[in-house]
Amino acid sequence: MIQGANFIDGQWVPAVSGRTFQRHNPADPDELIGTFPASDAADVRAAVDALEKAAPEWAATPPERRAAILESAAAQLESRADTLIAELVAEEGKTKAEATMEVSRTPANLRFYAGEATRTTGSTYPSAGDNLVYTLREPVGIVAAITPWNFPFNIPSRKIGPALAAGNPVLYKPSEVTPLMGQRLVEALLDGGLPPAAIALVQGDGTAGAAVAADPRVAAVTFTGSTRVGRAIHREVGPERRVQLEMGGKNPVVVAADADLDGAAALIVKGAFGLSGQACTGTSRVVAVDAVHDALLERVIAKTETLQVGPGNQPGVNMGPLASADQLDKFLHYVQAGVAEGATLRCGGTTVGERGFFVRPTVFADALPTMRIVAEEVFGPLVAFQRAATLDEAVALANATEYGLSAAIVTSDLATATHFARQSRTGLVKINQPTTGMAMNAPFGGYKSSSTQTYKEQAGATLMEFYTLEKTVYLNPAV
């Protein structure tokens, strides 16, 4: 059992209040993973006090040194991979294959952002005579990273990595569902040579998160999580500070009449039920044209019923437990809502066994746009089939949501694919691929209620703009 701690002002410390919370294994709720600080505003104030003092020194650290630290932290994570994989399976409920993928990708992220430390440059502009006009890129200040539980290594590394590369101190608030993973990431950064004063870890629930967003000394808040919480953070941060929000999704797969139905069924099942359906880019809707709808539905049901549900550390398991009792309750609530509103439950929708938060992957048919299973983010292993008379209607149904994160189409026609890419009102478009699974070197972000749409994260030409301020300098060599 782990006795977790906050990391503030270079020290591992309990919460100021002394309060704690526990995290249990979602596959076996009797197994205690650890006890962690239940932080509040007092802990956040102490963390920001310390980071504020440390900011000038970290900003002045040469970029080559910042890059070397991130490279070293990546090596630290790789050296602990086996332990981290086992802990991630136990704490979150991922399968071993899913945990292995995340643990291997996170060091690659840190190495990618290490390169950004030496590539964050300004520009020069034409001017008259001997005058010089140029821009400088400077650290924005304290960056707060508030991260979710479904990718507790990968997503934090996509925020903390570029923040540190740009010379910003970081206030890190991981989800209370995966506090151990948050602590392990900070340990690797410190063992990689990060100055202790350059980072603070504050554990806890939304009370701590709200305090992080509310502190005016936090210059930038980068958040991934629900749209409801993201909107609250946006209101709190206001116009004077930076905010980057990646929020919910209701991601469709459109299936055209010329689609390979076996391939379509495979990618739908992967996108809908991988990670137990707990991914912001997960497939939650299928919009199929009449010509292929029924045959596709039967193929998806057949593949879904072969999935093996169980603890993620057992061989042959395709889908682990939901991450928490709250996630289980939410999933069952949406199953009941789907039935009550008239959708047809074709498979799944029930719990599995007497221990752990296990459920059967679920497929609904006859779903309509007004139904909650179509309109709201379930964030669980539930996919709803919608029928369209034409491809144009299918695209319209796919876009008929407040969200705009990821969308996919299955087609063998290039013109159909490119038309869909232009018409889809989403920040991510997948063609003959699942709605999940994004390249680490490409920009990530959504449209509409899925994102603030101000700064793309993960990669791209504008990645580092969120973490830096641009200053324009006018230089005249003599008066």
pLDDT of residue 462: 81
pLDDT tens, residue by residue, 30-44: 999 999 999 999 999
Asked if the model's pLDDT at residue 438 lies above 90, the reply is no
Please compute the mean of the pLDDT values over residues 464-469 and round it to a whole number: 94
Is the model's pLDDT at 318 over the cut of 80? yes
Q: Which CATH code is given to the segment(s) 2-247+451-475?
A: 3.40.605.10
- Give the residue carrying structure tokens 């199953």: 335
CA nearest to 310, candidates 354, 352, 363: 352
Confidence (pLDDT) at 443: 82
Find the helix or strand (DSSP H, E) in which 218 lies. strand 218-224
pLDDT tens, residue by residue, 234-287: 999 988 899 999 999 999 999 999 999 999 999 999 999 999 999 999 999 999
Give me the helix-helix angle, 63-79 and 96-116, nearest 10°.
Answer: 170
Q: What is the pLDDT of residues 64-122, one digit of tens each?
A: 999 999 999 999 999 999 999 999 999 999 999 999 999 999 999 999 999 999 998 88
Q: What are the start and end residues of each CATH 3.40.309.10 domain in the chain?
A: 251-431
Q: Which of 304-313, 437-446, 467-476 has the lowest mean pLDDT?
A: 437-446
Those residues whose C-beta lies under 8 Å from the C-beta of residue 232, and which sit 6 or more positions away, are 210, 213
CATH topology for 251-431?
Answer: Aldehyde Dehydrogenase; Chain A, domain 2 (3.40.309)
Share the mean pLDDT of the chain. Answer: 95
Q: Once rounded to an integer, what is the mean pLDDT over residues 203-214?
A: 96
Residues assigned a catalytic role: 246
Confidence (pLDDT) at 479? 80
Q: CA-CA distances (angstroms) from residue 13 to 18, 37, 180, 201?
A: 10, 9, 15, 10
Query: Does the pLDDT at position 439 exceed 90?
Result: no
Tell me how far apart the alpha carbons of residues 244 and 456 are, in angstroms, rounded to a whole number. 8
H or E element, residue 382: strand 382-388
| pLDDT at residue number 1 | 83
**225 pLDDT more than 90:** yes
Task: In the chain, list all ranges with CATH 3.40.605.10.
Answer: 2-247+451-475
Each residue's pLDDT tens digit, 291-314: 999 999 999 999 999 999 999 999
| pLDDT of amino acid 65 | 97
**Residues 447-453, mean pLDDT to the nearest whole number:** 88
Which amino acid is it at 276? S
Confidence of residue 355 (pLDDT cuts 50, 70, 90): very high
